[in-house]
Structure 1
């Protein structure tokens, strides 16, 4: 499916894979493998940003995936996000959807909110918020209707 379909139908918190369709090179070709991994990976969908205008410039709609965290001893030093335009030529697929009853912790209200944590239930989300400083955070519980609509609308993602 396309990045546009992910933007329209996937729920924040879904695990998304993307690919350019090229075959994986052998491990012994380290540079080719590294380049291939750049276009064939995945992450958790944390943001959907609508098209916007800044002066005379139009910035197209995009999706952002959380690709991973790097650090040691429980301290995150580097957080890797990948942002894709909805016009991306890569192929995307939803490999996992958030469970019904899980709670999205968004950093701010509105459609521009970014997922900062996906909790298994409301008490877990509230406990996480006590330990992390997000003063404008919003909690959204995933309903069965949302999951069902994402499955029906994004049939190709299943």
Structure 2
């Protein structure tokens, strides 16, 4: 899939992989596996921004994937987010859709909202919020209608 397809069709909370199409180099190479991983990895879709011309391939839309967290114990020191533009030459695949009934926790409402947590159900989302404190958080449940639309339109998990 292209970046344009991800921006238009992938649901927030989906796991998306990206690749440049090259084969993974052997581990005994010192630097090559790390360079390869930069263009071949996966993350959770946490934000989509269509931009003013996103309806065309020349638009300026972007999407952001949460790739990893680094830290110790319950303390996260570094979050790794990757943002891709519509002009990206990488290929994308939806690995997993968020399950029906899961609850997306956004840091705020509006166009600049970002997914901060995907909970298995509403009670777990509320519990997570009580521990992490996002005062302007918005909860949104993943519905069966959303999943059905993907199946009808041929966007099932690849």
How high is the TM-score relative to the length of structure 2? Answer: 0.90
Summarize the alignment of residues 9-158 of structure 1 with structure 2, pairs less than 5 Å apart.
9-51=9-51, 60-153=60-153, 155=155, 157-158=157-158
Offset of residue 62 of structure 1: 0.5
Q: Secondary structure at the residue paired with 2:31?
A: helix
Q: Comparing both chains, which one has the higher relative contact order based on Cα–Cα distances under 8 Å and sequence gaps of 6 or more? A: 1
Offset of residue 45 of structure 1: 0.5
Q: Which runs of 5+ in 1 are unaligned?
A: 54-58
Structure 1 window deviating more from structure 2 (25-34 vs 100-109): it is 25-34
Paired with 1:101 and 1:12, the residues of 2 have a C-alpha distance of 14
Q: 1:156 to 1:20 in 2, by over 3 A?
A: farther
Would you say the 8 A contact 2:150–2:156 is kept in 1? no
Count of aligned positions? 153
How high is the TM-score relative to the length of structure 1? Answer: 0.90
Paired with 1:6 and 1:65, the residues of 2 have a C-alpha distance of 11
Match of 2:8 in 1: 8
Would you say the 8 A contact 1:16–1:93 is kept in 2? yes
Offset of residue 152 of structure 1: 3.6
Q: 1:156 to 1:139 in 2, by over 3 A?
A: closer
Offset of residue 151 of structure 1: 3.5
